Amino acid sequence: MNFEFSAEQKELQDQARKFLAEKCPPRAVRNVLEGKDSYDRDLWKALAGMGFLGVSIPEKFGGAGAGYLELCVIAEEIGRALAPVPFASTVCLAAEALLIAGSEAQKQKWLPAIASGDAIGTLALFEGSGKPSAKAIKLAASGGVLNGIKKPVPDGAIADFAIVAARAGPSGRESDIALFLVDTKAGGVEAKPVDNIDPSRSQAELIFRDCRAELLGPATDGWNILSHLMDRAAVLMAFEQIGGADRALEMARDYALDRIAFGRPIGSFQAIKHMLADMYVSATLARSNSYFGAWALSTNAGELPEAAATARVSATQAFQHCAKNNIQVHGGMGFTWEFDCHLYYRRSNALALALGSQSYWEDALIDRLRRKNAA
Amino acid sequence: MNFEDTTQEAAFRSEVRQWISANAPKHLELELSRSSIGRIKLMNADILEVARAWQKKKFDAGWACLHWPREYGGRGASPIERVIWQQEEGVYDKLSSPFLIGEGMCGPTLMAYASEADKRRYLPKLASGEEIWCQLFSEPASGSDVAGLRTRAERDGDDWVVNGQKIWTSGGHYSAYGILITRTDPTVPKHKGLTMFLVNMKSPGVEVKPIKQANGMQEFNEVYFTDVRIPDSQRLGAVGEGWNVSLTTLMNERMSIGSRIATGFQELFDFCSRLKTENGLAIEDRATRARLADWSVKNSGLKYTSYRALSALSRGERPGPENSIGKLVAGSMMQEIAMYALDLQGANGVVSDPALAEVAAQFQTMLLSSPSNRIAGGTDEILRNIIAERVLGLPGDIRVDKDLAFNQIPIRGRR
């Protein structure tokens, strides 16, 4: 048993951290947050140039052909820097959907473009409020033509292609759900950006009107593919979350050391120390759970469903906990636009919802534990 | 990153599994599985006898304190092998509880500070369970502030004469020996005037009085020392170095990583999977599932955190401070779990008769015992201070007594 990243993986992480510290300072996040850009194009291209976007894409599709552990450490750094790029949508969701279920031609068309930073992809799953479920998917597919509305779609207004979950059969069973690949530039899709709690990553409404689409994977297998896809994305996004949680904790710690009140650093008061200790506890538990998720993902272990839900629930808790208490430690300054605390607060809450709510994943975790215990 | 056993580890695991399967007291498996760690009551057997018999059997076959060197009673096992042993030992690991303080704290302190002859004299019998050890640190007036202890040791020829009182001494009533920290110089600041000894608990002048605890059990003791003579040869470390010796003891405790930390999660999960309510099984209830999920990720987070520390150890590195979160998380979690399990039982949750209560009153016992888990071995508040100061680098508390001679420190607050 060895439960750490290798020296090479740590080196890659270090490289990504340095790179992002230079190319993605808080100013870059704010440019997108304040609406000057819908995402940071230069950063996106630069990440591609470093090979980070295609790190786990096979070489024959233009990637580096490294494993998921490498992708996890990069995701952590993306999260730590709050990179305002469509990483979760394109790399964690769209690329993974292609890798799980794409045809040779579909992979050949889109994966190299993702790795090179030339294509942005997304997953169009949700149709308004509610948890992920086969029943909630109403968007209709008939003869390879889609009609309906998806909302919210992460980075939907800047995506070049979307993986769309649609209802293709009348039986009312999960097997009615099919996945389709849509080239958003080919017509039939209208994208409307929607305001969201974390404008450093965009959200959109996609309206499909007689939109031509090609199947992704077997027509009756959409829901199974989605479930597996969500598990993979849960692990990768957990790394974004633990990266963000760690940074929020560091910010709070640094401020507590600098800020003087009542004649001493506020970090010398137990009320503050204990708050920070509890943030450290959440962040550490989430990190350890995410490592287990990374192992399960990288080895495609049978434990992946349980490990993914565990990593997801834990990392969501940790990032939300650290981000909200980072504001609290900063006091009034933490609630100003000028301080960066709200950037982490926004991202923590957006990521918490990105794959369906915390209660959805809690429920999923208990189902999976029951299955394991029954076995 | 790899969770699978190596070939060598798999071979070791299979050897362990075979031995345990052939030797464990299987007739106690169910009762043990329903007991909280450290709170075991057996219907038809004396727990200490059963625990000692299992420990001795393990020792004779080389499985007790297996990470210790052979000459001191172990088998020189690696940290990973030790964890494999604990995983395989399963519920029978609960029988180790009378020996944990000796194995985790006293043994390592002896290894670091005792003479070679004493190590060979004491350690194997500690490992075999023949002689149980206790730790005599806390006092009525110094709990969290352990360096404020007042038990005096005064030099008299080749001996030291000890007078004072210790408290919260787990297992003191059945211990043969203990490690004892005393004040040898009250004229210097409190951390500087301390000295550590090993003491025979049967020495004249040692009196052990059990403390009846809030849960009705008696595991802790008060230990009184009245003119107890301890030969200077039983001193551990230099005179005045007791504080550093005690830190070694505590650091070794942190190094002794395993999967022993009990949270009560699996017990609750099993209970919820069986408990029928008017709307189906408890585990099908949404509110219950949310609580279970939260505890589940804490439980697994602790497990994998200990695996990370173990990986560091097996690479020859010191485990990082992340392992210090274990007791902090597990302590309050077990208390919350016990309360929730009783809540699920409704009014019947009040019943604590093992013959009538759910799961032989496992959760009622857990409820009444669990406050101690948040206090013993460092309160939740002290643990948070440790994390804040040693891990996050925040300033220490303002210590008004730091530079005062010990005998100048005020001893009473204002009423």
Instruction: Provide the residue range defining the domain that includes B195.
Output: 133-251
Helix (H) or strand (E) holding A74: helix A68-80
Question: Which of the pair, B383 or A326, is modelled with greater confidence?
Answer: A326
Contacts of A238 (CB under 8 A, 6+ apart): A286, A289, A290, A293, A311, A312, A314, A315
Evaluate the CA torsion angle A156, A157, A162, A165 in order and state its sign.
Answer: positive
Asked if A314 and A367 sit in the same domain, the reply is yes
Residue B35 pLDDT: 74
Here the tokens at position A75 are 């995701």
Question: Which of the pair, B257 or B386, is modelled with greater confidence?
Answer: B386
Here the tokens at position B202 are 């049967």
> Is residue A106 helix, strand or coil?
helix
Asked if B281 and B236 sit in the same domain, the reply is no
User: How many CB atoms neighbour CB B22 within 10 A?
Assistant: 9
Q: Is B253 an active-site residue?
A: yes
Residues of A in contact with B398 (CB under 8 A): 264, 268
Residues 245-284 of A with CB under 8 A from B: 249, 253, 256-257, 264-265, 267-268, 270, 272-274, 276-278, 280-281, 284
What is the C-alpha separation between B135 and B198, in angstroms, rounded? 9
In a domain, B256, yes or no: no
Asked if B202 and B287 sit in the same domain, the reply is no
Residue A319 pLDDT: 98
Confidence of residue A131 (pLDDT cuts 50, 70, 90): very high
Contact B134, B98 (CB under 8 A): no
Question: Which of the pair, B398 or A179, is modelled with greater confidence?
Answer: A179
Residue B191 pLDDT: 94
Asked if A230 and A356 sit in the same domain, the reply is yes
Residue ending a domain, choose from A117, A137, A167? A117
Residue A205 pLDDT: 98
Confidence of residue B399 (pLDDT cuts 50, 70, 90): confident
Whether B224 shows a pLDDT value over 70: the answer reads yes
Name which of A115-124, A282-291, B155-164, B306-315 the model is least confident about.
Answer: B306-315
Residue A308 pLDDT: 98
Contacts of A338 (CB under 8 A, 6+ apart): none
What is the C-alpha separation between B315 and B253, in angstroms, rounded? 19
Residue A81 pLDDT: 98
Residue B218 pLDDT: 86
Tell if the CB–CB gap between B1 and A69 is shorter than 8 Å: yes
Asked if A111 and A128 sit in the same domain, the reply is no
Residue ending a domain, choose from B67, B100, B128? B128
Q: Tell me the pLDDT tens digit for each residue of A58-105.
A: 999 999 999 999 999 999 999 999 999 999 999 999 999 999 999 999
Contact B327, B261 (CB under 8 A): yes
Whether B310 shows a pLDDT value over 90: the answer reads no
Confidence of residue B400 (pLDDT cuts 50, 70, 90): confident
Helix (H) or strand (E) holding A146: strand A145-154
Q: Tell me the pLDDT tens digit for each residue of A27-56.
A: 999 999 998 889 999 999 999 999 999 999
Question: Which of the pair, B90 or B199, is modelled with greater confidence?
Answer: B199
Whether B255 shows a pLDDT value over 60: the answer reads no
Asked if A174 and A241 sit in the same domain, the reply is no
Share of residues in chain B with pLDDT > 90 (%) = 70
Asked if B20 and B64 sit in the same domain, the reply is yes
Does pTM surpass 0.90?
yes
Identify the DSSP state of A260. Answer: E
In a domain, A1, yes or no: no
Shortest alpha-carbon distance between residue B60 and chain A (Å): 28
Choose among A249, A264, A294: nearest Cβ to B1: A294
Nearest Cα residue in chain B from A368: B293
Instruction: Please give the average per-residue pLDDT across A217-231, as a whole number.
Output: 97
Report the residue count for chain A: 375
Residue B5 pLDDT: 84
Whether B11 shows a pLDDT value over 80: the answer reads yes
CA angle B159, B162, B166 (to 5 degrees): 145
Asked if A230 and A213 sit in the same domain, the reply is no
Asked if B265 and B373 sit in the same domain, the reply is yes
What is the C-alpha separation between A367 and B26, in angstroms, rounded? 31
Phi-psi region of B76 (alpha: psi -120 to 50; beta: other; left: phi over 0): left
Share of residues in chain A with pLDDT > 70 (%) = 100
Instruction: Please give the average per-residue pLDDT across A347-372, as a whole number.
Output: 96
Confidence of residue A242 (pLDDT cuts 50, 70, 90): very high
Identify the DSSP state of B390. Answer: I
Residue B316 pLDDT: 74
Q: B189-218: string of b/e by CB count within 10 Å (b at 16+)?
A: bbbebbbbbbbbbeeeebebeebeeebebe
Asked if B278 and B339 sit in the same domain, the reply is yes
The structural domain count of chain B equals 3
Contact B119, B72 (CB under 8 A): yes
Name which of A161-165, A261-265, B308-312, B331-335 the model is least confident about.
Answer: B308-312
Instruction: Please give the average per-residue pLDDT across B336-345, as a whole number.
Output: 97
Q: Tell me the pLDDT tens digit for each residue of A292-327.
A: 999 999 999 999 999 999 999 999 999 999 999 999
Catalytic one of B31, B81, B219, B253: B253
Tell if the CB–CB gap between B297 and A373 is shorter than 8 Å: no
Residue B319 pLDDT: 66
What does DSSP say about strands B133-136 and B177-183: parallel, antiparallel, or unpaired? parallel
Asked if A227 and A348 sit in the same domain, the reply is yes
Tell if the CB–CB gap between A280 and B385 is shorter than 8 Å: no
Asked if A271 and A362 sit in the same domain, the reply is yes
CA angle B75, B13, B3 (to 5 degrees): 115
Residue B65 pLDDT: 94
Beta strands in B256-375 (DSSP E): 276-277, 280-281
Residue B44 pLDDT: 75
Residue B252 pLDDT: 66
Contacts of A322 (CB under 8 A, 6+ apart): A244, A245, A246, A248, A249, A252, A279, A282, A283, A344, A348
Confidence of residue B36 (pLDDT cuts 50, 70, 90): low
Q: Tell me the pLDDT tens digit for each residue of B42-63.
A: 777 788 999 999 999 999 999 9
Residue B254 pLDDT: 57
Residue B256 pLDDT: 56
Q: Tell me the pLDDT tens digit for each residue of B226-238.
A: 999 999 999 999 9
Phi/psi at B192 (nearest 5 deg)? Answer: -95, -10
Evaluate the CA torsion angle B233, B238, B240, B244 in order and state its sign.
Answer: negative
Identify the DSSP state of B256. Answer: -
What is the C-alpha separation between A322 and A343, in angstroms, rounded? 12
Evaluate the CA torsion angle B41, B44, B48, B52 in order and state its sign.
Answer: negative
Instruction: Please give the average per-residue pLDDT across A218-226, as a whole number.
Output: 96
Tell if the CB–CB gap between A3 and B302 is shorter than 8 Å: no
Asked if B89 and B11 sit in the same domain, the reply is yes
Residue B150 near chain A (CB below 8 Å): no
User: How many CB atoms neighbour CB A105 within 10 A?
Assistant: 9
Residue ending a domain, choose from A68, A83, A117? A117
Q: Look at residues B100, B63, B95 and name the one whose alpha carbon lies nearest to residue B82.
A: B63
Q: Which amino acid is present at B15?
A: E
Asked if A291 and A356 sit in the same domain, the reply is yes
Phi/psi at B253 (nearest 5 deg)? Answer: -60, -40
- ipTM of this predicted structure: 0.96
Asked if A202 and A247 sit in the same domain, the reply is no
Asked if B275 and B356 sit in the same domain, the reply is yes
Residue B125 pLDDT: 98
Contacts of B410 (CB under 8 A, 6+ apart): none
Confidence of residue B163 (pLDDT cuts 50, 70, 90): very high
Residue A103 belongs to domain with CATH number: 1.10.540.10
What is the C-alpha separation between B107 and B122, in angstroms, rounded? 9
